[in-house]
Chains A and B, each alone.
Chain A
Amino acid sequence: QVQLQESGPGLVKPSETLSLICTVSDGSISSYYWSWIRQPPGEGLEWIGNIYYSGSTNYNPSLKSRVTISLDTSKNQFSLKLSSVTAADTAVYYCARQYSNIWYNWFDPWGQGTLVTVSS
């Protein structure tokens, strides 16, 4: 059963870059789409973007100018960088596999999530 685990700093200063890594275990990253999703405290879920195992990416237009998602197949990891952060970027950040059959896709499984706080 594939498992995902987020890691990275829990505190980032305003205007700096948030960097997180998602490590995939008990399964290969060399297939599927892999997504980042965030959830501000007490709020709903926002899809940030994804990366295909080939390296192609899709981003939420609302964040596109600040987001970079990349893949390291040798380490079975993918990463998120979000630049020029503000307090509005404070959230729990989740990584998730995008599983699909021929027609449909869904997020499963998810990592446990990591809280990133933007504060000086």
Chain B
Amino acid sequence: DIQMTQSPSSLSASIGDRVTITCRASQSISSYLNWYQQKPGKAPKLLIYAASTLQSGVPSRFSASGSGTDFTLTISSLQPEDFAAYYCQQSYSTLYTFGQGTKLEIK
């Protein structure tokens, strides 16, 4: 299995802050990396696919980069609706695996 490790596991930030979440793969996955946002009681929502491509309709304050084993998701200026959990997911292997999640909370 390809293990996906996110850091931090939780993060407190304020409206307007710039935040970065990191995802590391246990082996190289090229750019086969997706990011999802999950709000309480809701299904995950796709934000980014292929490591850096913004899904249609997702605000441009979200961006992502990386390849190989190290990836980042950045929110340039936090908005109230951004407080949620974020998950990375690799699609390099057909045994798809997710990171453990990063919970973004209001400071």
Tell me which residues across on chain B come within 8 A of A111, comparing CB atoms: 43
Q: How large is the interface on B (under 10, 10 to 19, 20 to 34, 35 or more residues)?
A: 20 to 34
Tell me which residues across on chain B come within 8 A of A30, comparing CB atoms: none
- Say how far B45's CB is from chain A's closest CB, in angstroms: 7
Bound together, the chains give a CA A108 to CA B45 distance in angstroms of: 7
Bound together, the chains give a CA A96 to CA B45 distance in angstroms of: 11
Task: Establish whether residues A106 and B44, one from each chain, have CB atoms under 8 Å apart when the complex forms.
Answer: no
Q: B87 in the interface, Cβ–Cβ < 8 Å?
A: yes
Chain B positions 60 through 93: 1 when the CB is less than 8 Å from some CB of chain A, otherwise 0: 0000000000000000000000000001010100
Task: Establish whether residues A61 and B95, one from each chain, have CB atoms under 8 Å apart when the complex forms.
Answer: yes
With both beta carbons as reference points, the residue of chain B lying nearest to A110 in the complex is identified as B43
Task: Establish whether residues A47 and B49, one from each chain, have CB atoms under 8 Å apart when the complex forms.
Answer: no
Tell me which residues across on chain A come within 8 A of B31, comparing CB atoms: 104
Q: How large is the interface on A (under 10, 10 to 19, 20 to 34, 35 or more residues)?
A: 20 to 34
Known contacts A44-B101, A47-B98, A60-B95, A108 near B32 by CB under 8 Å: no
Q: B14 in the interface, Cβ–Cβ < 8 Å?
A: no
68-120 of chain A: CB within 8 A of chain B: 94, 101, 103-113
Task: Establish whether residues B95 and A113, one from each chain, have CB atoms under 8 Å apart when the complex forms.
Answer: no
Task: Establish whether residues B94 and A113, one from each chain, have CB atoms under 8 Å apart when the complex forms.
Answer: no
Known contacts A61-B95, A106-B49, A44 near B44 by CB under 8 Å: no
Q: A46 in the interface, Cβ–Cβ < 8 Å?
A: yes
Known contacts A44-B87, A47-B95, A61-B95, A103 near B46 by CB under 8 Å: no
With both beta carbons as reference points, the residue of chain B lying nearest to A60 in the complex is identified as B95
Task: Establish whether residues A106 and B91, one from each chain, have CB atoms under 8 Å apart when the complex forms.
Answer: yes
2-47 of chain A: CB within 8 A of chain B: 35, 44-47
Task: Establish whether residues A104 and B32, one from each chain, have CB atoms under 8 Å apart when the complex forms.
Answer: yes
Task: Establish whether residues B98 and A104, one from each chain, have CB atoms under 8 Å apart when the complex forms.
Answer: no
With both beta carbons as reference points, the residue of chain B lying nearest to A94 in the complex is identified as B43
Q: A58 in the interface, Cβ–Cβ < 8 Å?
A: yes
Name A residues whose Cβ lies closer than 8 Å to a Cβ of B. Answer: 35, 44-47, 58, 60-61, 94, 101, 103-113
Other CB < 8 Å A-B pairs besides A45-B89, A105-B91, A106-B50, 7 of them?
A35-B96, A44-B101, A45-B44, A46-B98, A47-B96, A61-B95, A110-B44
